[in-house]
Each structure stands twice: as structure tokens, then as C-alpha cells.
Structure 1
Amino acid sequence: MLKLGRMASAMTLAVLGGFTVLAQAAVERIEIRERVPFAAGTSYGEAGAYEKIRGVAHFALDPRERANAGIVDLGRAPRDEYGRVHFSSEFVLLRPVHGKPTTLIYDVNNRGGIAMLGQINGRSPANNDPATAEDAGDGFLMRHGFSLLFSAWTWDVAPGAPAARPLVLVPPVLKGVQGRVNNEFIVNAVSDIASYAGMRGLTYEPATPNDPHAQLTRRRRPEEPRRPIPRSSWQFVEPAQAGGPGRIRLEGGFQTGVIYELSYVARDPYVAGAGMAGIRDLLSYLRDHPLEGAPVPKNILMFGISQSGRLIGRMLHDGLNVDEGGKLVFDGAYLHVPGAGGSAGFNSRFVQPTRHPSMLEEHDYPADAFPFTAAPTRDPVMGKTASTLDKARDRQGRLPKLFIANTSTEFWNRGASLVATTPDGGLDVAPPENVRLYGLMGAQHYVGRSRTRAPFTACVSTSDHYTTMRALVLALDEWTSQGKAPPASAYPSLNEHTLTSVADYRAVFPKGLGITPPEQNLREPRLKFGWRYERFGIADTVPPKQGAEYETLVPVPDGDGNDKGGVRLVEVQAPLGTHTGWNLRAPDTGFGWATSRFDGSFVPFARTEAERLAAGDPRPSLAERYPTRENFADAVRGAAENLIRARLLLPEDLERTMAGNLGLYDRIQQRDPADQGCNYLYATP
């Protein structure tokens, strides 16, 4: 049966002194479409059983409201008789059935997919629809009593398998408006047909089908001039599936080692920033209004991984963490692997949210821009002083509490040093009191899962930083709900001599490991889209002109090649090899100078001194470091206990940490050093 929740602020008209006053109505109504027991009534410790609620939030935004002024193109979207813009968002809520106030965590979905359960609970729900005990993984978030909320916020999600249920927003549309769109893409193998949309995404298609004036170009490196490909040698073809990303066919085929770019005039842009407003207003509603018989949350947190973390950064930058009534909609947020923070993108005309730069690609898309730090800094090139939180205060001047965590990979591929230095890389910038920074050293963007080197040159890093993420989630809840001081910031810095240039890194990185550090890291340019872009979010120069690059730095390696500073994970304190934040692409991809977008490298130590000398490896062998397996177990336990004392590892995850590291130790001891495969990294074949 369909049930309707209460209206966030009923739309009413009152006549006061001859003026008609329109009450705020960001959320018009909540529509409940499904309410069922979660995981067949499985009980999760003291939290008990959970239920799943699936519904739709209906929004009505008034562009005249000050809180909505920063939403690009909202005032140009179709409006009702009261001047409001309408749209809706599907949501999924998992919550305990005990009816007590809980901490609500809003997980910003990543390209339509629920992300938090995969990394925190260890299991991504089948079909993006949490329903079974298996979908809850080890039940960590449930055992700790959190309510979990997921909703649609972006439109550019490519369709998946037939049974999949991605969360996809249908935002307001500016009918008839046109503008130029660029689509950059590469191929990892020669192919006659290629998709030109971004990663797992969609793009704006041509305003004119099979546009005869569309242009396709090629170049070898991002900084090289674009070389046109004759229009007669390529054509548009149908998507591989209905509603999927567009494709083109090229005579002679698309080649590896080439950056292609397709541009044309598109039409009907979405009001992309409405997705952030929808998150804001859904949280504002749930903060103040009981839903289906449960009390309001005692605490509200946001959590986002990668793209989703960058979205939180943009919400803060634009002040979309404060509702129309001037109140904070979340008490704290955890931005995980956002790189330089995400203060650009997500809120401009014809923006493609899935796009973001790496060392190799997509340098012309807005993703990161000054300011990068939560404390004010000055950009000497632009002549401006600002912080990411200039618009994030509520009407009482309060700010949310923030955790920002990056792995070693983000320093190489996503400008992560910029959240802690001046834009010229010359000075450290300490975070303000409401912000903590964590550098997860030796880890890559996600825990490595590839069993092959291809398309890279080294096996990936399997350092398990997910356990530290679990500790940080609990610490953020305790900080925001109980006032308990969080773990101290731990991030590479200039003052501690743990942050340096790529040239210096290359000079001190140990030789003879079989891998060579990259010649550069990502150095994002200042993008110039035209005068209307900064004021109104409308790009007139596409692709943009590139200005001076921001200065980005990387962690200093120790004698083993493991990064110094930051949070020293167990795998770095008691190492079995070298864990780097970079992994070079294989030469046969055509981009041997570039790094993997998300992966680091792992090179194990030699088992014995004889093997070490035979290989010319400068690093002490396992036998020299840990004469016995018990010695290694002691080292792992000591490293884990260091993290537990720092509240960066939970006691409940000690045995998981021990088992994971000892298992890898055993597999390295059993491995034939001549075997260049990567299967030994994993416990199961």
C-alpha cells in the first residue's frame, strides 16, 4: 500500500499587510513505496533487527531563496505558479526497528551505486538493492546501530545489468538551451567502435543527430595540440544498449596511446546542482520530521568515497550544507579519497559529474579548483584569498566537523597535497579546529583486487585501509555526538620533511626493485572557461584555456620505498615489501609514461639474503627482518596496537589484521620468485 509521509513545510499562502507570503517547501512530500524487514529479520547485536524503506522524496525549490542562489541555472528551469522548480529523488533507508534515535549516515552513492557497504561492511549489495544478510557483509554498520540513507543525486549513470537498481536522478531540464560539449576518451586495445562518455557514465548527446559538424581530434599527451580527424572517416553508431552511452566508429579503428576527443553542440542541459540541493533538503527534512513512526536522528553524518567525497566538498564550497532555514543539515562528514577536495564540478551548465582528471586524462574538466584548504590561503596567480568553508557556516556561525582522508595514490593522481599546502606548494596549511586530515600511507585508492599486472607494470597494492576507515567512522560519530576528541591529524607535510617534489622522490626511491617511479604526478592547470563561468557557471570557452599549474607534491619514501608521514598502516610499519601510490601503465597501452588512475604497486622483499643478492635488491630480506614467522607476527601485532592506541584501528579488527598480514607472509614464502603473476596476493585462487 502506498503511504505518504508528512510534508516538510506545507505549502500555504497567508496575506500579511497586502503581501502574499509563500512558506518554505523544499521537500513537498515523502512517498513510501516499500517497507520490509531487512535481511529477513536478522538481529545485529544490541541494535537488533533492521528494516528497509524505499521511497521517493519530492522537492520544490524556490530560486528566490538565498540558500538556492548558488544552484546554477535553477532560476531558468520550468516553474509552477508559485515560482518553484520541481524534481524528485528515489531513496533507500536502512534503520533499526527498535524506534530509538540513532545516528543517520548519508552515503553519497558513487555513479549510482551504494559505496559504503562495500568498503566498511566488506560487501556491496547485489543489484544495488540491500535486502539480505549477505548484502550487509559483516554487519559492522548495523552492529554499531547506524541508520543508513542512500538517494539519487546525479543523472549521468550508465545503465547496468537488467536487474540492477542504480539510484539515478531526473533533475530539472533547460529545454532548448544549447552549448558546446567535449568528450575525451581512450581505448586500451585497438577497436573499431568506442564509447565517448566518461567512466561508467553518460554524456550530453548532440543536439543534431549524427551531427555533421561534430569534430573528432587526436593527440598523444594532454598538453599536445589536438589534431582533427576528417569527419568523413568516422560516424555515430547506436548505443550498445538502450539508454546507454553514445558510440562512434572510426575507419582503421581507434588506437592505443591516443587521447581522442569528440565535440559538438548539445542541448537541454540539466540543473545538475539540484542533486546537491536534494541531498540537503532530504537531510533537513529527516532532521526535523519523524518518518514512518521513528524518531528523528540524534546525529547526522555524511560519507563519500572518491567522486562522492568530492561532491561533499562541493556542497561545502557552495554552502549547500545549510538549508533554507539557515541550519546545518549534517553534523559531520567523512570525505574519503577526494584528492584535492572537489571544489569544482557538479554545479555548472553541461557539467559531466563522472569526469575527473588523472595524470593521463580529462584535464579539461572542472573537478578541483582553488580554494583547496579548509583554512584560508592565497592563490598568488589569481590574487585571491579563500577557503573551502567560506560559505559553509550556518546562521549561528557553526561549521560541520570534517574528516578528509587520502591514500598514497591520491598524491600521485589526484593532487592530494593541495588540501594541506598553499597552491604554490611552498607552505603547509594547518586545518582549522573542525577538520582533521589523514594520509593513509602505503594504500591505493581502493584495496587492490587485480590478479594480473596488465594493463600496468606491477602487481597492485593490497594494503587494507578499510579497517582504518571503520575506526574513523566511529570516531567521527563520537566527535559529533559526544564531543569526544577525534584522532589527531596525520598527513604528510613540508615541516616534517615527509612531502616533496617528484624529482626528489625519484632521486631517493630505492633502485633495483624492478619498478621505476613516474616522471611526474598530476599537476592540474587553472582552467579558464570564460568570464560567465565563474559568475554564472556557464562555459563559453570549450575546451577551456589552461593557465598555470598548481604545485602538487608527493610523500617522501623511506629506505624500503614506503611512504613516510601520515597514518602508517600496519603494512608499512611491519612491511613485507614496498607499497607505492603509483603503478605505471604498461608500454603496450601506448601510455607507458602515465600512471594507473587508481592503483598502486607492491613489490615483495626477497625471502632470503641469497635471493636478495641474486636479484640485486637493496632492501633487507624477510629472513633478516623477521627470522621466524613468530617474529613477524609480533611485529604485526605491535603495529596494530600502535594504531589501536591512536584510535585508527578498532580492537575488533585486530584479528582480521593479523590474519591478513600473516596470510600474505605465508604466500610470499611459498611463492616462486620467478613467478611474475599476482595471484599470491590473495588467499583464494
Structure 2
Amino acid sequence: MNKHKLALVVAVAAASLSARAAVERVEVIERVPFAAGVAFREAGAYEKIRGVAHYALDPKLKANQAIADLKHAKRDARGRVVFSSEFILLRPTGAQPSTLLYDVNNRGGIAIMGQVNGRSPVNNDPTSAADAGDGFLMRHGFSLLFSAWTWDVAPQPAGARPLVFAPPVASGIKGKVQNEFTVNAPTDIVTYAGMRGLTYEPATPEDPHAQLTARARPDDKRRAIPRSSWHFVAPEQKGGPGRVQLEGGFKPDTIYELSYVAKDPYVTGAGLAGIRDLLAYFRDQPFEGAATPRNVLMFGISQSGRVIGRMLHDGLNLDESGRMVFNGAYLQVPGAGGSAGFNSRFAQPTRHPSMLEEHDYPADAFPFTTAPSRDPASGKTASYLDKARDQQGNAPKLIFANTSTEFWNRGASLIATTPDGARDVAPADNVRIYGFMGAQHYVGRSRTRAPFTACVSTSDHYLPMRALIVALDDWTVKGKQPPASAYPQIADGTLTTVADYRAIFPKGFGLTPPEQNLRQPRLIGDAIPPKHGDDFETRVPTPDADGNDRGGVRLVELQAPLGTHTGWNLRAPETGFAWATSRFDGSFVPFARTEAERVAAGDPRPSLERRYASRDDYVAAVRAAAERQVAAGLLLPEDVERTMTENVGLYDRILARDPADQGCSYLYAQ
């Protein structure tokens, strides 16, 4: 082929790609030095670019047909659905290509910097050196990208800058919407939207046909509350969620549900397509004087991790040309993986089921496993990645990491077992699964027991997170294998039933395990409320003689233990639902300091005095555990001293604490 024909082929190919590119243009509205030009070691100085990406989606394209209600949205003269989203980019100012790490924001807020760098940016607007925390992600040279993807973000204080998406609207469509809520104390007026969120409001103001019901447990029959005894109340602030007032007041120990007809659902899935197309744009386009990235990764925590799961489940990790838009993704505490929700009519992204709450809202659905598995109830065999592979059969490299709490409250066992919980299903070759045992959904920070019965768990799983982010980058760029999967399994006895857990768990030191965990709801059809099939079977980690979970990633806190760390924490009776657990929190109860104290308290667990002859012995045990974690690739050498300081500091505070003090402040350095 001569050079003129080659040039023509290249030009036609480029035009074809351009025609299918869903980002039409990007406008830059702010470009300033980040952290006042501070140099982050070899990565150097960073800059912040704030902009707006403008999208156009053709509903007829196969790549866009998974987006619920896109075909019902308003179109431009060319038949496309157009919308935009704000984004923020933090990147090194040097010319060297870096890894672009997209952080899926959580309810409008930047999530990764708080947990990984140790500091959430003030007002959700990363600006100062203090906003960089310890600078971990910058020191390792990552470019960080954030954008708006969801609409249901409640108004925030003046000065805050949440990333809020204005999605297309499927005008003219009506449907029933339900809003479940509870209260921790008696009150006359309550907001009925989900956590820190918004909901669809009634299509008819003061809807006379709206229904308010009450029940004691999720599966109980709903009891209707007379329409004459309650009424709608205006939002507390403009643009905020609606409220409802009940004669005699709302009370703890009751699940309330408000339902009515709403109209004009948002095309919520367009937010996921926007993430897809923004990543494709940055993957391919040199931007504002910088080369294209050497690598593209995604990261999400909790809700944000489940967004990644839904994108994979719907094939929205592939651009309109069928190419992968990210090479790897880290799903942190996603529970059962997030294969439902976020992309359906009248979706409320902030809602999700846990042991007590919101069992009628989709969050996870079969298939859960990344290798094929069979659902005995439906007879179907499928995998989580069936739609996530490109035309060559490639799928992104994935890391799933859950804490003990997700096994109790978010169905985490399902990502590695059959749907009936009968046997293990090994992850696909491109997937690693980790269970951070003894940790809770986020590192504990409460200094009080209320509204729960025990102090929270402070196990620091943010440190292995840091190691695994670096490992994912090395895996996708260099082909270097990450640490082997480490999670509780049925075959080795580290994953079990709640009944067995309760039988094995030690007694007599102040913690009584819950009667149940979340059995993942199986939702059938689109009715409101939906029909339920038999729940998916979920399992929990097996405890050892101290009550600490076996299997999985052995955090330093479990290798050199100072007490019992669980993934569950029971609700205080005065808040209602004493049978249920906290949605996100675990428990910690220290060992007795001495054998004499242990015997006097009737505690079956050996004392600190028995375990560690002296403070020096404990320090040595922690350092040895940290070195084992480094060797396993689950702790970076730069974080050894941090884990030493955290664990030895807690040892000192336990020894200085009066055992009669039931407060939780001793967990934290003053």
C-alpha cells in the first residue's frame, strides 16, 4: 500500500472513531497549581484542571442500548441525547505519561483521598497541600480524575462543591416510587429520601393517593397508616428532599414506607455512560499539553465500587467502538459486587440493602462470580464478566476487597460461592479477591458506643489498600502478579453459616453475635414493591477462639491481636431493631490487661499479660507481623512505621485505661 492510500485509510479510521466518540467537546473552566506547587518527590508538582465534558449518545448504537430509558430522552436534531458533567483532574505538571486513576465519587464526594491519602479535600475542592493529606497518590505519580455521575445528592453546606450530575429525562413516563425510612428516636417530621440523598417527589403535590405503611421487620406484612393522619411537608431547604409529618410521631423499631406515583424519571444510566466516555476521551486524546496516559484504572469505595460492578455487568466498560476504557479496577467494600441498581427506571442510587434496611431496592443480582457459576433457582449459568469482555475476549484486571462487615451486611460471600452458598467458585484469572478480616466498612472513628452496643473496630485496612493500588498498576502496566487472593472459603472451613459462627464464638466477654446476616434479596420483576424469590444464601467468616475472623488477609491487628475485632455491631435497644446490626460498623473489645483481671471478669480469652510478656515483646510481635505483610505484598515498606505507631499506641492506651470505663475514647490518640 502506498503512502497516499495509507494516509486515506488512517483518515477514514480517525473519522470513524470521531463519529462514534460520545464526548463531543471538553471545556476547561479552571487551571491552577495544586497544593501551591509543592513537589511530591519524583512526581514533582501537580496542577488542578476543572472542566465540563459535553456528551452525545446515539440510542440506536448497540453500545448504548443497555442504558435504561435512553431511547425515551429528548434528542437533538441529529437524533442524539446530549448532556454534560463537571470533572476535576489532578495531574503532574511534568511531561512524563502517568497512570490515570478515575475515582468514582460517592454521593457527590471525592472518596479516594480521604481513605488512601488520609485527608478528604475541604469542600470537596482539592486545592491546598493540606488537602493532599500525606500525598501518597501524588508521590506515586497517579493522575486523579473525578466527575459527576449521579443526581441524587442532597444540598450541602455553603461553599461545598459536590459533583452532581444533571442527567437526561425520560419525559412523560409515570411510575410508582417507594421510599423506606426508619428513625433512631421519636420525631414528628422526617425526611423520606435515602442516605444523604434525594428521591423522586410525587407527580401530584400532596398526592391524596399516596400511601404510608409500617412494619416491624423487612419481610413483615405492611400495615397501612390512614391518609388522614399524615401529610407532606416542604423540604427543610430549597432543593432538598421532601419530608412527611405523622400525627403522634414516628417511632423507633418500625420500618416506614412512603409510596406514590412520580413522573419523568432520570436516565440515571447516562451517568455511567458518561464515565465510560470520559475515560475513552482521556485514554485517546492528549489533553492541555500532556500526553495520553500510560494506563487507565478505576477505583470505587462502597457505592462507588458497586457503580464499577454495574458498568461491568452491563458492558459499559467498553466504549462505542468496543474497546476497554480502563485496564484495571479496584472495587473496595462492594459487598456482592454491585451487579444491579444505578441503571433502571426511577433508580435511587443512594439506596442499598443491608440486614435491616431497603430489601426492596436492587443492588446485587445473579451472576455474582467472575468465573461461570450456576443458579439452581433459575437454572442459568453465567458470570459477572459475560458482557465486560472486548471482541478479543479480554476483560479488565480486577481487585475486589471486602471487610468482615460486608460478609454480615452486604452479601460479600457471593462473589466467590455458588448462589446457594454450597461451594466455592474460584475467581477468574484476571481477578483477585481479598477479605480484610476484623475490619469494618471504613476505619472506625466513633468515640461513643451509641447508637450501637459496642465500641467500633479500628483495624486499619487502608494500609493494604495502598499496597493493592500500586499492585494493580504494576499488574496492568508491567504484568507483575499481585498478591494471591486471600478470602474466607468453604473448603478450608474459614467461611461458615451464622449458626456455626454463633456456636463457635467465645462467650462471657460482652459480645453476643447477631442472629442473622443479610441474606441477599432475590428481586423478581419491576413491580413496586417488587416480588421476592428465595433469598440468595450468604456466609460469614469463621471465628477463632478469640472471636477474630479466620482466613482472608491477616491484618497486623489480627496477627498481633489486642482484642476481638468483629465485622458486626448490634444496634442499641433504644434506637430500635435490637436484633439488627449497624450498617457499616464492627466491634472491638480489648483483652484483659492481666490474668487477674481476666479471671475476675470471667473473660475466656487469654490476657495481654499472658500473650506478651512485656511491651517490648508486643512491639516485636507487631514488627514481625508488619514484615510478613510487606513480604506478602499487602503492606508497603513506607507504611511499616505507621502501623507500628497505630498498634503500639493502642497497646499503651489499653494498659493505661481503667477497665471500668465503658467509653471508647481510648481507641484514639488524643
Q: What TM bracket, shorter-length normalisation?
A: over 0.9
- Structure 2 residue aligned with 1:229: 225
- Structure 1 residue aligned with 2:401: 405
Cα deviation 1:323-344 (Å, max 9, x = unaligned): 0111100000000000000100
SS of the residue 2:522 aligns to: strand
Change (3 A) 1:324 1:13: closer
1:78 and 2:74 aligned: yes
Cα deviation 1:264-291 (Å, max 9, x = unaligned): 0000100010011000000001000011
Structure 2 distance, partners of 1:504, 1:264, is 42
Q: For residue 300 of structure 1, what is the amino acid of its counterpart? A: V
1:252 and 2:248 aligned: yes
- Structure 2 residue aligned with 1:5: none
Cα deviation 1:448-485 (Å, max 9, x = unaligned): 00111011000000000000000000000000011101
Cα deviation 1:75-114 (Å, max 9, x = unaligned): 1111112110001010000000002100000000000000
Question: Paired residue for 1:92, among 88, 92, 105?
Answer: 88
Cα deviation 1:173-192 (Å, max 9, x = unaligned): 01121000000000111111
- Structure 1 residue aligned with 2:552: 566
Structure 1 distance, partners of 2:242, 2:635, is 45
- Contact preservation (8 Å) 1:399, 1:434: yes
Structure 2 distance, partners of 1:674, 1:97, is 55
- Structure 2 residue aligned with 1:3: none
Structure 2 distance, partners of 1:464, 1:240, is 37
- Contact preservation (8 Å) 1:468, 1:649: yes
- Structure 2 residue aligned with 1:368: 364
Q: Tell me how far 1:11 sits from its aligned partner.
A: 13
Cα deviation 1:53-86 (Å, max 9, x = unaligned): 0000000000111111111111111111211000
Q: Tell me how far 1:12 sits from its aligned partner.
A: 13
Cα deviation 1:571-615 (Å, max 9, x = unaligned): 001000000000000111111000000000000000000000000
SS of the residue 2:534 aligns to: strand
SS of the residue 2:407 aligns to: helix
Question: Paired residue for 2:577, among 585, 591, 595?
Answer: 591
1:639 and 2:635 aligned: no
Q: For residue 648 of structure 1, what is the amino acid of its counterpart? A: L
Structure 2 distance, partners of 1:561, 1:437, is 23
Question: Paired residue for 1:341, among 324, 337, 342?
Answer: 337
- Structure 1 residue aligned with 2:62: 66
Structure 2 distance, partners of 1:181, 1:327, is 36
Structure 2 distance, partners of 1:460, 1:436, is 28
Change (3 A) 1:560 1:10: farther
Change (3 A) 1:120 1:10: farther
- Contact preservation (8 Å) 2:21, 2:277: no
- Structure 1 residue aligned with 2:602: 616
Structure 2 distance, partners of 1:508, 1:388, is 33
Q: Tell me how far 1:25 sits from its aligned partner.
A: 3.4
Q: Aligned ranges for residues 49-448 of structure 1 at < 5 Å? A: 49-448=45-444
Q: How many equivalent pairs are there?
A: 661
Q: Tell me how far 1:383 sits from its aligned partner.
A: 1.3
Change (3 A) 1:12 1:566: closer
- Structure 2 residue aligned with 1:657: 643
- Structure 2 residue aligned with 1:4: none
Q: Tell me how far 1:10 sits from its aligned partner.
A: 12
SS of the residue 2:281 aligns to: helix
- Contact preservation (8 Å) 2:72, 2:171: no
RMSD between superposed Cα atoms in Å? 1.5
Question: Paired residue for 1:524, among 498, 520, 525?
Answer: 520
1:548 and 2:559 aligned: no
Q: Tell me how far 1:23 sits from its aligned partner.
A: 2.3
- Structure 2 residue aligned with 1:476: 472
Identity %: 74
- Contact preservation (8 Å) 2:70, 2:170: no
Q: Tell me how far 1:525 sits from its aligned partner.
A: 2.2
Cα deviation 1:94-143 (Å, max 9, x = unaligned): 00000210000000000000000000000000000000000000000000
- Contact preservation (8 Å) 2:464, 2:635: yes
- Contact preservation (8 Å) 1:12, 1:23: no
SS of the residue 1:148 aligns to: strand
- Contact preservation (8 Å) 1:11, 1:22: no
SS of the residue 1:548 aligns to: coil
SS of the residue 1:525 aligns to: coil
- Contact preservation (8 Å) 1:10, 1:23: no
Q: For residue 162 of structure 1, what is the amino acid of its counterpart? A: A
SS of the residue 2:232 aligns to: strand
- Structure 2 residue aligned with 1:602: 588
- Structure 2 residue aligned with 1:627: 613
Unaligned runs of 5+ in 1: 1-8, 530-538
Q: For residue 545 of structure 1, what is the amino acid of its counterpart? A: K
Cα deviation 1:243-283 (Å, max 9, x = unaligned): 01110111111101110000000001000100110000000
Q: Aligned ranges for residues 440-519 of structure 1 at < 5 Å? A: 440-519=436-515
TM norm structure 1: 0.95
- Structure 1 residue aligned with 2:4: none
Q: Tell me how far 1:528 sits from its aligned partner.
A: 1.3
Structure 2 distance, partners of 1:162, 1:378, is 51
Structure 2 distance, partners of 1:590, 1:63, is 47
Structure 2 distance, partners of 1:337, 1:480, is 21
Cα deviation 1:369-416 (Å, max 9, x = unaligned): 101000011101011111110000112221100000000000000000
Structure 1 distance, partners of 2:12, 2:485, is 45
SS of the residue 2:317 aligns to: coil
Q: For residue 210 of structure 1, what is the amino acid of its counterpart? A: E
Q: For residue 509 of structure 2, what is the amino acid of its counterpart? A: L
Structure 2 distance, partners of 1:37, 1:226, is 56
- Contact preservation (8 Å) 1:191, 1:255: yes
Q: For residue 506 of structure 1, what is the amino acid of its counterpart? A: R
Structure 2 distance, partners of 1:13, 1:668, is 65
Unaligned runs of 5+ in 2: 1-9
Q: Which moved more, 1:394-403 or 1:606-615?
A: 394-403
- Contact preservation (8 Å) 1:126, 1:135: yes
- Contact preservation (8 Å) 1:77, 1:85: yes
Q: For residue 620 of structure 2, what is the amino acid of its counterpart? A: D
SS of the residue 2:183 aligns to: coil
Cα deviation 1:35-68 (Å, max 9, x = unaligned): 0000111110000000000000000000111111
Q: For residue 572 of structure 1, what is the amino acid of its counterpart? A: L
Q: Tell me how far 1:162 sits from its aligned partner.
A: 1.1
Q: Aligned ranges for residues 1-80 of structure 1 at < 5 Å? A: 23-80=19-76
- Structure 1 residue aligned with 2:6: none
Structure 2 distance, partners of 1:360, 1:350, is 22
